[in-house]
Chain A
Amino acid sequence: MTNILLNINAETIDWSRAQFALTAIYHWLFVPLTLGLAVIMGIAETCYYRTKSDFWRTTAQFWQRLFGVNFAMGVATGIILEFEFGTNWSNYSWFVGDIFGAPLAIEGIVAFFMESTFVAVMYFGWKKVSPGFHLASTWLTGLGATISAWWILVANAWMQYPVGCAFNPDTMRNEMVSFLDVALSPFAIDKFCHTVISAWIIGAIFVVAVSGWYLLKKRETHLATESIKIGAIVGLVASIGAAATGHKSAQSVGEVQPMKLAAMEALYNGGNDQGLTAVAWVNPFVQPDYENDGEAPLRIAMPYALSFMATNDIHGYVPGVNDLLNGYTRPDGTTEPSVDEKIQRGKAAIVALADYRTAQKEGDLTKAEAAMTLLQENMPYFGYGYIHDKSELVPFIPINFWAFRIMVGLGCLFILFFALVLFLVYKKSLTTLPHWAYWVAVIMVPLAYIASESGWIVAEMGRQPWTIQDMLPTWVAVSDLHSSSVITTFFIFLVLFTTMLAVEINILLKQIKKGPEYTH
């Protein structure tokens, strides 16, 4: 079979990325609310189980009703994400499918069936199963969603920090060599903790906001005040937890994706004793001239904080964009090669692989062995062989810089917010606040989503151009599609998801306005 040399339009790559980003952004509008509300409604139903009070039953059912409206859209967008790995990223699916497919399959077998089975019992089983079975079903629905998050985040973390695998030149793909390294990667654990805890914040803010609106309207006071207590406790614990896990995540990024950290900080030239940028002027629309600018204009930094954040040492070394491009020497004396050298070694790996394949076909074992040795020496830089210019390795700095600051800034705001709400709970003054205070709670809802989506923007935009860090750039991962096909499906998804989001929001608002349904 003759090789097929394909000429993929750059538009196909851009639109494939846009379509995946669109689906992921929409998916992440629904999933965190599912994960967060699962905890709240679980607690409410546990209160019902313990007290047998109609009030708690009504409260649990009310939050479950809102959970149900949101749940279906999470499921619908989730299936698209799974299949888009195949439809739009077919080369990726082969190149790393041996590793990446496993978490997705386990997610289906272990988590999705648990979620879909018990969510039906939760909705329809109030009069059909015992209270204990129903309570277990409610928690298992949330547990299923959380386990699902675990496996998909394992998969995502592996793309950011590929471990437990080895390249097989005979099959032309990466293959798993350690399941535990993949499933229990420290990067995955950090990502899971930070992501799921941040989802609890969204659930907590949603509950506090809806309850705040009821207090503003002077209705459902009992449900609102009790729900605020649960929401504020969950929210405060989660927002402090998110800060702690965020610190750990940032350290992981500093270790395995230093270019992402440099972009997040707009750190052009690194060094020891680095300060964390509090504010600076980074034009949101233009990639800065990092080669010539010493640092971002108007920069105000917290001394030593970046070194501490990245290395747990206030004098720690943090490389900047130029250090990473030109190579640098670490404090322990080891040297990180320049990008030019990595590109050359990547190309050497690809040539060695081609030679190995040819030698194997010709039956020349000596030549094959020599090519194999060369391939293994240069394999860590394989992905760099597809890089045309070293500037491609620098992600778009402004979006990372600003998204990171928005996420962290809002995260701090949420800690203050929940602490204040709990203080008001303690003072028993929730029902006597001025109107604007309730509106503050309502405004927190879009802010929570902005913070959460900003986190994903940093995670995904910061690793560009890599689909898999140092292994596979995006333009090597795509499917053989004409851009017109991808553009068409992009707009179909855009219209579909946006319409459904509008319907969901309207239904949620009507359901909230309608309030709980009391049964006596």
Chain B
Amino acid sequence: MLTYEFLQHYWWFLVSLLGALLVFLLFVQGANSLIFSLGGTEEGRRLVVNSTGRKWEFTFTTLVTFGGAFFASFPLFYSTSFGGAYWLWMLILFTFVLQAVSYEFQNKLGNLLGTRTFQFFLILNGIMGPLLLGGAVATFFEGSNFLIAKDNLVASPLALDSQDVALTPIISQWANASHGLDALLNPWVLIFGFAVMFLARTLGILYIINNVADEDIRSRGSVRLLGTAIPFVILFVAYLVHLLLKEGFAVMPESGLIVMEPYKYLHNLLTLWPLSVLLLIGVALVLYGIISTILSKTYIGGIWPTGIGTVLTVLALLLCAGWNDTAYYPSTADLQSSLTLANSCSSEFTLRTMFYVSLLIPFVLAYIVHAWRSIDHKKLDKQEIATDHAY
């Protein structure tokens, strides 16, 4: 059962699931980007920050594990994308570093930079984090500007002897000097990036409405929900239509050659019909959570349907990017350099070993849920901030 092909698809599923969970957990960033909007007073802002502050490490850890899982299962992606799109990933990292310290430092005595600085850092991460991560994900469909030549590993030492020129045998090369920032010049990458950003803000509002027991903040959230949900829906639908109509990067199963195929992603969804079902259920749940919260003044559970819907939708899209003989990290500089599950994955031995490790994941999820429920069974309020440990 554990064939090499199965393991490649299994690991793409796990990476996609981590990516989907990461997008859901970006509610932390989304709420942080609205600190001043949701919290009308300093006390209100503190409530918002403390509410997301109890969850930020889940987002952070999921991002780290997403990277680690990619490294272990598809090292050529790790090598090519991180080393090539250097600036795109560095900007993402900078904003997440700023976020990590902002919670603990902002209201502490002796904070040299002042509370406002750290609130600004949270907002910066809240906007740039989802935008850039969304942009990075969009390159799975839109392509990136890189070349791969594994023979460089042997070519350059030989050239050294013959030409006496210092050459370094690097196998992956970005085809322009922008090192990843060129992706942001593609309007569809931006549309997807902004869709993720507005989705994060929508999720952030729904989470705060659910997690904070404060009428002022809840009513502010309800008012702002429509303003963030509408741009999200417009941008998402626009990108989804574009995706279904665009040509995609297909892999010839026998030869491994990459070719352009019209309506590739539409074909993927039709061939792998359960993904279409997943996508439709996901979108329906996202909309249900948003609309229910807008229509009802007492409904505070919107984060759950919208959150679960987000996970299902993103999971379906990411699976659509890699399964069904599709190049998941296409190269626009050289089509045959594109990364596929088969040409970029780890060895069968490593994937199988990691398969056994991955069986721990349900156990990990179980204790996360248990711990989360223990902390969240009482909603956060001003009294708790005043009397208990708080940021």
Asked whether B100 lies within 8 Å of A76 as measured between CB atoms, the reply is: yes
Interface residue? A189 (CB, 8 A): no
CA–CA, A90 to B179, complex, Å? 13
Distance in angstroms between the alpha carbons of A503 and B104 in the assembled complex:
11
In the complex, B58 has a CB within 8 A of chain A: yes
Partner of B60, one of A75, A118, A125, A175: A75
B87 on interface, CB distance cutoff 8 Å: yes
Which residues in B have their C-beta under 8 angstroms from that of A304? none
Partner of A79, one of B79, B96, B108, B374: B96
A510 to B67, CA, bound (A): 36
A214 to B: closest C-beta gap in Å: 17
Partner of A90, one of B82, B155, B350: B82
User: Are the C-beta atoms of B155 and A3 separated by less than 8 Å?
Assistant: yes
Contact between A125 and B61, CB atoms less than 8 A apart: no
- Given A87-B82, A93-B78, A112-B61, answer yes or no on A121-B375 (Cβ-Cβ < 8 Å): yes
A25: Cβ under 8 A from any B Cβ: no
**CB of B270 within 8 A of chain A?**
no
CA distance A1 to B89 in the complex (A): 27
Assess whether B67 is in contact with A82, with CB atoms less than 8 Å apart.
yes
Do B170 and A90 have beta carbons less than 8 Å apart? yes
Flag if B108 contacts A69 (CB, 8 Å): yes
Q: Which residues of B contact A351 (CB under 8 A)?
A: 154, 158
| B151 touching A102, Cβ below 8 Å | no
A376 to chain B: closest CB distance in Å?
A: 15
Are the C-beta atoms of A105 and B68 separated by less than 8 Å?
A: yes
Question: A121: nearest residue on chain B (CB-CB)?
Answer: B371
Question: A176 near B347 (CB under 8 angstroms)?
Answer: yes
B64 proximal to A (CB < 8 A): yes
Contact call B79/A90, Cβ cutoff below 8 A:
yes
A101→B388 contact, CB < 8 A = no
B residues less than 8 Å from A102 (CB atoms): 72, 346, 350, 353-354, 357
B108→A511 contact, CB < 8 A:
yes
Q: How far is the CA of A492 from the CA of B152 in the complex (A)?
A: 32
Q: Which of A125-177 contact B (CB under 8 A)?
A: 125-129, 133, 137, 168, 171-173, 175-177
Contact of B68 among A82, A171, A499 (CB under 8 A): A82
For the complex, what is the distance from the CA of A117 to the CA of B373, rounded to whole Å? 11
Contacts of A61 in B (CB 8 A): 389
Cα distance, A105 to B15, chains bound together (Å): 11
Residues of A in contact (CB 8 Å), total 108
Output the nearest chain B residue to A169 by Cβ-Cβ distance. B154
B361 to A: closest C-beta gap in Å: 6
**Cβ-based interface call for A7 (8 A):** yes
Contact of B64 among A2, A92, A108, A489 (CB under 8 A): A108
A510 to B101, CA, bound (A): 17
A424 at the interface (CB under 8 A from B): no
A478 within 8 A of B: yes
In the complex, B241 has a CB within 8 A of chain A: no
Q: Report the separation of the CA atoms of residues A165 and B151 in the bound assembly, to the nearest whole angstrom.
A: 21
Residue of B58, B67, B165, B367 contacting most chain A CB atoms (<10 Å): B67
Bound: A113/B186 CA distance, A: 35
Q: Which residues of A contact B89 (CB under 8 A)?
A: 83, 86-87
Closest chain A CB from B192 CB (angstroms)? 22
B73 within 8 A of A: yes
Q: A79-B97, A119-B57, A128-B374 are in contact. Are A86 and B79 (CB under 8 A)?
A: yes
Instruction: Give chain A residues whose Cβ lies under 8 Å from the Cβ of B152.
Output: 3-6
Question: Cβ of A245 < 8 Å from any Cβ of B?
Answer: no
Q: B150-192: which have CB < 8 Å to A? A: 150-161, 165-174, 177, 179
The verdict on A419 contacting chain B, using a C-beta distance below 8 Å, is: no
| A101-B375 in contact given A83-B82, A485-B86 (Cβ < 8 Å) | no
* Residue ID in chain A nearest B50 by CB atoms: A124
> Distance in Å from the Cβ of A3 to the closest Cβ of chain B?
5
Contacts of A6 in B (CB 8 A): 152, 156, 167-170, 173
Interface residue? A479 (CB, 8 A): yes
Across the interface, name the chain A residue whose C-beta is closest to B389.
Answer: A123
> Interface segment, B41-49, B110-118, B296-304?
B110-118
Contact of B86 (CB < 8 Å), options: A87, A115, A172:
A87
A57-90 residues at the B interface, CB under 8 angstroms = 61, 65, 68-69, 71-73, 75-80, 82-83, 85-90
Q: Does A98 contact B (CB under 8 A)?
A: yes
Q: Is A206 an interface residue (CB 8 A)?
A: no
B133 at interface, CB cutoff 8 A: no
Residue B149 is within 8 A (CB to CB) of chain A in the complex: yes
B9 in the interface (beta carbon within 8 A): no
Cβ contacts under 8 Å, B378 to chain A: 128
Q: Contacts A7-B168, A79-B64 hold; do A504 and B105 have CB atoms under 8 A apart?
A: yes
- Residue A86 contacts which of B63, B83, B103, B377 (CB distance < 8 angstroms)? B83
Q: Cβ of B350: which chain A residues have Cβ within 8 Å of it? A: 98-99, 101-102, 175-176
- How close is B29's CB to chain A, nearest CB, in angstroms? 15
User: What's the nearest-Cβ distance from chain B to residue A208, in Å?
Assistant: 22
Which residue of A68, A95, A116, A504 is within 8 Å of B58 (Cβ)? A116
List, in ascending order, chain B residues with CB within 8 A of A168's CB. 347
Q: Which residues of A contact B87 (CB under 8 A)?
A: 485
Q: How far is the CB of A207 from chain B (nearest CB, A)?
A: 20
The reply to whether B361 and A109 form a contact with Cβ atoms under 8 Å apart is: yes
- Checking B98, B154, B171, B360 against A110 with a beta-carbon cut-off of 8 angstroms, the contacting residue is B360
Residue B2 at the chain A interface, CB threshold 8 Å: no
Tell me if A453 is interfacial: C-beta within 8 Å of chain B: no
Question: How far apart sit A91 and B75, CA to CA, in the bound complex (Å)?
Answer: 10
Residues of chain A within 8 A (CB-CB) of B160 are 388
Residues from chain A with Cβ under 8 Å of B273 in the complex:
none
Within 8 Å by CB of A507, from B64, B82, B111, B372, lies: B111
State which of B64, B72, B177, B357 has its C-beta within 8 Å of the C-beta of A112. B64
Most interface-central of B73, B105, B147 (chain A CB within 10 A): B105
A-B contact pairs, 7 of them (CB 8 A): A69-B108, A104-B71, A109-B360, A117-B57, A496-B98, A507-B109, A511-B108
Give 9 A-B pairs besides A7-B166, A8-B170, A128-B374 with Cβ atoms closer than 8 angstroms: A1-B148, A6-B168, A79-B100, A80-B97, A94-B172, A100-B71, A101-B68, A104-B71, A119-B57
Q: Which 9 A-B pairs have the closest CB atoms?
A: A90-B83, A97-B75, A86-B82, A510-B110, A108-B65, A101-B72, A479-B83, A101-B71, A116-B57
